Amino acid sequence: MTTLLQLSRRAFLGVALATLAALPAAAAEPMKLSPEQQGAVNAISDYLNSFKTLQGEFTQISPKGNMSQGIFYISKPGKMRFEYAPPNPFLIVSDGTWLTIKNVKKEKGDQFPLSQTPLRLVLGNKVDIAKDTNILDFQEQDGMTTVTVEDKKNTLGSGQLTLVYDQARKALQQWIVTDGKGRKTTVSLENLQPGIEPDPKLFVVKIKRDSKNGP
């Protein structure tokens, strides 16, 4: 297995924020979907609306090709927890309002409004990709639907989020965030288990902040 990602706090935050908070990118024109393409996009929305809770494993690939792994939990609306495997000391938690990135060894971290991250597009009670985003690109190949979107409300700047949906498994396989310099961070999801109620304490986190971000 490839060695797990070992980064300094600043470098890791750069990767995490690339994953969770899309940075400004060049503006792109939304595309007009055919009825068949519209149906495929709706299938992704239907999948995201098919569960209230979800847990599984993830693999994150940074723009430089470094790999990190861990487990995740989702509880809608708005709650999420990404635990990175050692020696990576970071934890990412959304409590429904704030997204927290914490160094568990130092008990320090930073917070950002969930509403300013791409995760708000998939953690809501009702997801409608076609309504809530501008669709910039659509591809179907080898049983995979790949849709690249930007937030229609522009709360994320002009950052782009790509969703990769496995048509046979009827499940989201990856998301990819592209930052303002064209750098891509990929998160792949595996061993998904919907319907398991996570402990509410998983979405509660306390930090000693180094910045003025957060409440």
* DSSP sequence for 75-140: ETTTEEEEEEPTT--EEEEEESSEEEEEETTTTEEEEEEGGGSGGGGTSSSS--HHHHEEEEEEEE
- With cut-offs at 50, 70 and 90, classify the pLDDT of residue 35: very high
Which comes out higher in pLDDT, residue 150 or 49? 49
In the predicted model, is pLDDT for residue 144 greater than 60? yes
pLDDT of residue 194: 95
Rounded Cα gap, residues 65 and 46, in angstroms: 32
Highest mean pLDDT among 20-24, 32-36, 154-158: 32-36
Average pLDDT, the chain: 82
In the predicted model, is pLDDT for residue 12 greater than 80? no
pLDDT tens digits for 115-140? 877 777 889 889 999 998 999 999 99
pLDDT tens digits for 43-82? 999 999 999 999 999 999 988 888 999 999 999 999 999 9
pLDDT of residue 1: 30
pLDDT tens digits for 155-191? 545 568 899 999 999 999 999 988 767 788 899 999 9
Maximum CA extent, the chain: 52
pLDDT of residue 42: 97
Rounded Cα gap, residues 65 and 120, in angstroms: 26
pLDDT of residue 27: 53
Phi, psi of 184 (to 5 degrees): -110, 135
pLDDT of residue 88: 83
Q: Which residue has the tokens 């961070």?
A: 185
3-state DSSP percent of the chain in helix, strand and coil, to 5: 20, 40, 40
> Which structural domains are found in the chain, ordered by start?
9-192 (2.50.20.10)
CB under 8 Å to 162, separation ≥6 — which residues? Answer: 137, 146, 147, 148, 149, 174, 175, 176, 177, 178
Chain centroid to Cα 208, Å, comes to 24
1's tokens: 């297995």
For the ranges 12-16, 53-57, 96-100, the lowest mean pLDDT is seen at: 12-16
CA dihedral 115, 118, 124, 129 (to 10 degrees): 130
